Amino acid sequence: MTNKQQTNILLPTNEDTTGPYFPTYFSDESYEDLTQIHSGVIAGPSGQNIILRGRVLDRNGKLANGVLLEFWQANAKGIYRNPSSENHPGLDPWFDGYGRLRSTTGEYTYRTIFPGASKDRAPNITITIFSDGINRIVTQIFFADQKANEIDPLLKTLSDQDRKRLTAKYEGPSPDGADVYTLDIIMAGDNETPFFDDFLS
């Protein structure tokens, strides 16, 4: 991570709006439900199944139709599958941690496992939003009633209000035993969700 600025030699292509017509043809169920590798096989990751659902809203409180959401998280043991964890004994062979879905209406339902807390962190899921009218925006969400929320170094940088805006509410178990969490993402306006600069910072 040192001297990165000096080694960058190319000027980036500009990001652009996704437009309203990201093809549903590209949808892949295995990215919308990380708890099941495929409905026809007995295989899946370790951990407590969860359902994360909510709405993506615009400045006027209207559903942001046609959004593309991408999710990223650690496995149940808190290990991310990335180049710095290669050969880590805590990796789960059935879990990559990356998910993606396009929502026609702006409402979303994502199935995954409860993320383990990685070192000195509270359990969290990073969400990237692509949509018409904007280039990608990024946030990271947390879960209600987690003790580690109080010591999380990212949450600590935020106001009480902003912390609430990033904390998913626990709604109880679903009929099939998954823990249901809800969170609305507000793209702009009074109750705006905090977004983070992963491009420059």
Partner 1 sequence: MTSIGRQLSIGKTDNTSDQRTPRKRLRLIPADVRESFVPVIPARAVQRQNEWDLTRIAPNRPRAEGSPIEVKGTVRNESGTLLRGALIEIWNANHHGRYRHVEDHSGLKLDENFFGIGRVITDEYGNYRFWTISPGAYLARPDIGRWRPKHIHLSISCGSSRIITQMYFPNEPNNASDPMALLMGDSFDRNLGKPYETKIPEVDQGYDFDIVVGGKNATFFE
Q: What is the smallest separation between the CB atom of 172 and partner 1, expressed in angstroms?
A: 27
- Judged by beta carbon, residue 136 or residue 173, the one nearer partner 1 is 136
Please give the residues from 3 up to 62 whose contact with partner 1 meets the rule CB under 8 A: 4, 7-26, 58-60, 62
Size of the site for partner 1 (CB under 8 A): 75
Q: Which does 107 bind (CB under 5 to 8 A by kind): Fe ion, partner 1, none?
A: none
- Judged by beta carbon, residue 39 or residue 176, the one nearer partner 1 is 39
Q: Which chain residues interact with Fe ion by CB under 5 A? A: 19
Pick the closest to residue 98 from 117, 81, 123 (CA basis).
81
Q: Is residue 187 near partner 1 by the rule CB under 8 A?
A: yes
Assess contact for 174 and 182: CB atoms under 8 A: no
Choose one: 36-44, 47-55, 169-177, 190-198; the region binding partner 1 (CB under 8 A). Answer: 190-198
- Judged by beta carbon, residue 164 or residue 171, the one nearer partner 1 is 164
Among 37, 91, 94, 136, binds partner 1 (CB under 8 A): 136
Site string for partner 1, 68-87 (x = CB under 8 A): x-x-x-x-----xxxxx---
